[in-house]
Amino acid sequence: MPSPTPISPASPISVDLAGVPLRSPVLMAAGTAGTLDEMAGVVDLSRVGGLVTKSITRHPREGNQTWRILECKVGMLNAIGLANIGIAEFEEHIAPRVGSLPTTVIGSIAGFSIDDYVQVAAAMDGIEAMPAVELNVSCPNVHGGLEFGADPALLRELVAAVRPALPETRLLVKLSPVAVAAPNSITDFARAAIESGAEPNGPNRRPGADGLCIANTVPAMGIDVRTRRPRLANVTGGLSGPAVHPIAVKLVYDAHRLVCREAGVPIVGIGGVLTWEDAAEFILAGATAVEVGTGLFVDPKLPIKLARGLETWVRRQGVANIGELVGALRLDG
Ligand SMILES: Cc1cc2nc3c(=O)[nH]c(=O)nc-3n(C[C@H](O)[C@H](O)[C@H](O)COP(=O)(O)O)c2cc1C
């Protein structure tokens, strides 16, 4: 089976994400690059760190009515409603192609009950050449979709149920941006995800998540004041892009220094990465890798350009590998 071109451990930007080697720490975010490899015609995937699939549910979904994706002054508003082909079609038509792609593929799972998540996880575990999955517990667009990512006890229960369904696959949990006015802080959710209490199902495996992705879109809405109607058909949606970046950097910083550093759990920083400096900020705050979503709508080749910028930065910082800069924020005078 063809596999991604070998990843040189000597490369200054190759990283190990929870046991998954990546040639670059810049990945394509869930839902922003198609179901799998629709971007292959416009970007050389062999130079991308990895791609996350569209979130897949147990049954196919049409998603919300249009308008469901809009540009706004500070980024993008979306309320796609998890439109996707469902796990059966994914297994039949998409999974067989995963191993032939020249980059690392991470599956994304969404659901509306614990059983939904477990079913999709079990199916994805059987997909060869997909070394990790991301659990989307935080889509703010679908009724009830926030539940798992909004309640640490429920999140713990979900991760405990899903973990045993993934004996062959690393589990990344993608958290909600619970930055402001939430009764629980990001550290409560980080702990819930990584200490789920489930039995480890392999050597060197954690009981809960092997890594965290921080974060999904920020709940938001827009109103057309002339018609007095909501700009999104779903009324509310999620904000992504430059506006969410500093929020996500703070969440990564808190999760890393208060929970993940000591637990040895890697973080993927997500939110408003448009330049290599944005990616580098996430790394210094404690992320091992980053995902680009909204930035792909601006320039699909962004992951390659950002990787180049990061490589120069690593050299200028005088370190051999970007891993040495993870959480290396300086707080001294
Ligand atoms: C159009 C669109 C669709 C998305 N679909 C998904 C999805 O299916 N699953 C998921 O976990 N996140 C989804 N997201 C969230 C992104 O993966 C990412 O977490 C978010 O957009 C923040 O990153 P960004 O500012 O780089 O876009 C979607 C975002 C956008 C803009």
Nearest residue by C-alpha to atom 6 in ligand 1? 31
Nearest residue by C-alpha to atom 10 in ligand 1? 30
Nearest residue by C-alpha to atom 14 in ligand 1? 31
Nearest residue by C-alpha to atom 11 in ligand 1? 136
**Ligand 1 atom at minimal distance to the Cα of residue 75:** 25
Check: CB of residue 240 under 8 Å from CB of residue 273.
no
Tell me if residue 213 is catalytic: no
- For residue 333, the tally of other CB atoms under 10 A from its CB is 3
Dist CA 256 CA 267 (whole Å): 7
Q: In CATH, what number does 15-64+82-217+241-325 get?
A: 3.20.20.70
Amino acid sitting at position 173:
V
**Ligand 1 atom at minimal distance to the Cα of residue 138:** 11
pLDDT value for 139: 47
> Quick check: CB of 244 below 6 Å from ligand 1?
yes
- For residue 35, the tally of other CB atoms under 10 A from its CB is 17
| Listed residue (106, 25, 22, 103) closest to 308, CA to CA | 25
> Quick check: CB of 270 below 6 Å from ligand 1?
yes
Phi, psi of 109 (to 5 degrees): -120, 130
Amino acid sitting at position 249:
V
Pick the catalytic residue from 72, 139, 213, 260.
139
pLDDT value for 207: 82
Q: Using CA of residue 293, residue 297, residue 303, residue 309, what is the dihedral sign?
A: negative
Predicted structure pTM score: 0.95
> Quick check: CB of 33 below 6 Å from ligand 1?
no
> Quick check: CB of 295 below 6 Å from ligand 1?
yes
Give me the residues of the chain with pLDDT under 50, please. Answer: 1-3, 139-143, 145
> Which residue out of 27, 212, 216 has the highest number of ligand 1 atoms within 8 Å of its CB and is therefore the one to mutate?
216
Dist CA 213 CA 178 (whole Å): 13
How far does residue 157's CA lie from ligand 1's centre (Å)? 24
> Quick check: CB of 54 below 6 Å from ligand 1?
yes
pLDDT value for 141: 33
